Amino acid sequence: LQWRCAARRAYSSENTPPGNPPVVSVLGKNFNTTKDWFNVPVNVLKATSRQLHLQNDHPVAITRQIIQANFPAPTYQCYNDFHPVVSTQQNFDSLGFPPNHPGRAKSDTYYINGSNLLRTHTSAHQADVFRQNSSDGFLIAADVYRRDAIDRSHYPVFHQMEGARTWDRTVMPGGDVAAAVRLDTEKLGTHDVVVEDPNPPYHPERNPIQEGHTEAEVTAIGQHLKRSLELMVIDIFKRAKMAAAQVDPDFVDEPLRMRWVEAEFPFTSPSWELEVYYEGNWLEVLGCGVVKQDILNNAGASTRVGWAFGIGIERIAMLLFKVTDIRLFWSQDERFLTQFEGVSANLDKLRLFKPFSKYPAARRDVSFWLPSSSSSPSAAGGNTGRSFHENDAMEVVRRVAGDAVEDVSVFDDFTHPKTGRRSIAYRIVYRLHERTLTAEEIKDMHDKVMAALVEDLGVEIR
Ligand code: FA5
Ligand code: MG
């Protein structure tokens, strides 16, 4: 905790100019600031205009689309353009956060003034959507803001997707939704991934069954929730695997591992978090639970019961595109953005991210005597000392070493004064976009290039 706080301080002092502007404009709306509350650094304020989740062909938007595809209409309706400035009522009070909850602190949250802040989660819109939504479910994607340390998986601005599904008691026989929910779970289908789930169905101290809910209902709703989210993660991994196999046909992925852990939120009970095993660590991807009945009651939906989840879009996008640093999503570099062109329109065209910061290059030289027109066995092929063209050799190199070749250039070309034989020397630069080539791979590739030059062009390596 100590170093996180230190990182927070360093981060905020660097970016927060002293004092506060009297008014800030966020996506065309003006807000009066107050000196004792305003704590939004310039770079965070600027980020409000980016809306990566709505930017066509951006990995955050593509990931949103893939999650959406797993929660289809008409059951789920999408709300993707809520304004990022919300009230403390929306972000905290409507969700039952107690007045002293640490999430409300200025050290954790970006405030504009005492009653307006940059939403810290998409749950800020739950109550409003429960009130206005006419279907059984909804999804909300949005940018969210938290004062937090910056590392490879944390950034002060990120994106979340909220999801919720409810069932109306009044249309169920006996007013019990359990049987209907179980039927809907069956309709979702099954999967054969082993999911570690050490939780008791409910945990009385932290996650009691709510008043008015039956144990059968909570069990059924929890199962529908977990199955829906497991199927979504499985779909994500299936797509990531297909994209990886396109790059490398021999690609073998580690088997997918998921686990449910008990969690605690002021707005759900019982609550869980889903973790995915990724590159040696358990990575938390979402929080979820059975919606607190007060939220539904206050939203004029007292006859409904159901579940909600909140997922970190970047966390999923990192798994999906194999992006290892969350900061990359904010890159304006064309080399990043152009990589995903066309994917929003066709999600099956998903491509893995190709790092563009360069891996080290390996330079290798090769020099050879061209065959003399009379003696070369391959002279019949037309490649004599005289007719030889530099591009012939380039083509051979490209054919053998493919994309691992970055550059081929001639650095010496001379004709022996007595024998009249011509010698040419090439420098080949080997480099992969994806990773560093090993010494053995380079040697092997260069040996093959030399053998092919001899074979195809009839040259004699010097
Ligand atoms: C929430 O924000 C709850 N609103 C989720 C929820 C919704 C629970 C509905 C129940 C019902 P949490 O703070 O754990 O929970 O964040 C949810 C997800 O956002 C995390 O699992 C993680 O994937 C992502 N996340 C959290 N902090 C960051 C960050 N700094 N950078 C990137 N992703 C983050
Ligand atoms: Mg969490």
Quick check: CB of 39 below 6 Å from ligand 1? no
Instruction: Quote the ligand 2 centre to 273 CA distance (angstroms).
Output: 7
Measured distance CA(158)–CA(417) in Å, rounded: 69
Query: Across residues 351-357, what is the average pLDDT?
Result: 83
Centre of ligand 1 from the C-alpha of residue 285, in Å: 7
Q: Is 125 in the pocket of ligand 1 (CB under 6 A)?
A: no
The reported pLDDT for the residue numbered 150 is: 56
Q: What is the pLDDT of residues 270-308, one digit of tens each?
A: 999 999 998 888 999 999 999 999 999 999 999 999 999
70 lines ligand 1 (CB under 6 A): no
Name the phi and psi angles at 312, rounded to 5: -85, 115
pLDDT of residue 123: 98
Q: Is the pLDDT of residue 382 over 50?
A: no
**Annotated domain spans of the chain:** 2-349, 362-461
Q: Which of 273, 284, 316, 324 to mutate to test the pocket of ligand 1 (most atoms within 8 A of CB)?
A: 284
Ligand 1 atom nearest to 285, measured from its CA: 23
Fold of the CATH domain 362-461: Alpha-Beta Plaits (3.30.70)
Mean pLDDT score of the chain: 88
Decide the pairing of beta strands 422-430 and 23-26. Answer: unpaired
Among all chains, which residue has been given the structure tokens 């790059």? 247
pLDDT of amino acid 101:
94
Q: Is the CB of 155 under 6 A from ligand 1?
A: yes
CATH number of 2-349: 3.30.930.10
Q: Angle CA(181)–CA(185)–CA(188) in degrees, nearest 5?
A: 140
Torsion of CA 286, 290, 294, 297, to 10 degrees: 110
Range from 15-19, 68-72, 179-183, 260-264 carrying the lowest mean pLDDT: 15-19
Q: Which atom of ligand 1 is nearest to the CA of 286?
A: 21
As a whole number, mean pLDDT of residues 202-218 equals 89
Q: For position 201, what pLDDT does the model report?
A: 66
- The closest ligand to the CA of 274 turns out to be 1
Ligand minimally distant from the alpha carbon of residue 275: 1
Distance CA 422, CA 292 (A): 84
Ligand 1 atom 7, closest CA: 310
- Two structure tokens written together for 192: 């054969």
pLDDT at 59: 97
Which residue pairs, CB below 8 angstroms and at least 24 apart, start in 334-337?
A: 337/57, 337/58
**95-128 pLDDT per residue, tens:** 999 999 999 998 889 999 999 999 999 999 999 9
- Helix (H) or strand (E) holding 423, with range, is strand 422-430
**Cα–Cα dist 256/246, whole Å:** 19
Ligand number nearest to the C-alpha of 138: 1
Contact 158, 143 (CB under 8 A): yes
pLDDT at 452: 93
Model confidence pLDDT, tens digit, residues 132-168? 988 999 999 999 999 875 566 777 899 999 999 999 9
What's the CA gap between 273 and 287, in Å, rounded? 4
Pairwise CA distance, residues 134 & 170, whole Å: 15
Quote the ligand 1 centre to 108 CA distance (angstroms).
14
Contact status, residue 357 vs residue 413, Cβ threshold 8 Å: no
Q: How confident is the model at residue 4 (pLDDT cuts 50, 70, 90)?
A: very low
Confidence of residue 229 (pLDDT cuts 50, 70, 90): very high
Give me the residues near ligand 2 (ion), CB cutoff below 5 Å.
Answer: 287
Q: What is the Å distance from ligand 2's center to 408 Cα?
A: 51
Q: Residue 73, SS3?
A: coil
pLDDT at 151: 62
Pick the residue whose CA is nearest to atom 25 on ligand 1.
312
Q: Is 130 in the pocket of ligand 1 (CB under 6 A)?
A: no
Q: How far is the CA of 161 from the centre of ligand 1 (A)?
A: 9
Distance set, CA 193 to CA 183, 231, 238, 271, 400 (Å): 21, 9, 12, 22, 41
Quote the ligand 1 centre to 328 CA distance (angstroms).
19
At 357, the pLDDT band (50, 70, 90 cuts) reads low
Residue 429 has what pLDDT?
87
Return the ligand number nearest the Cα of 286. Answer: 1
Whole-angstrom Cα distance, residue 262 to residue 201? 10
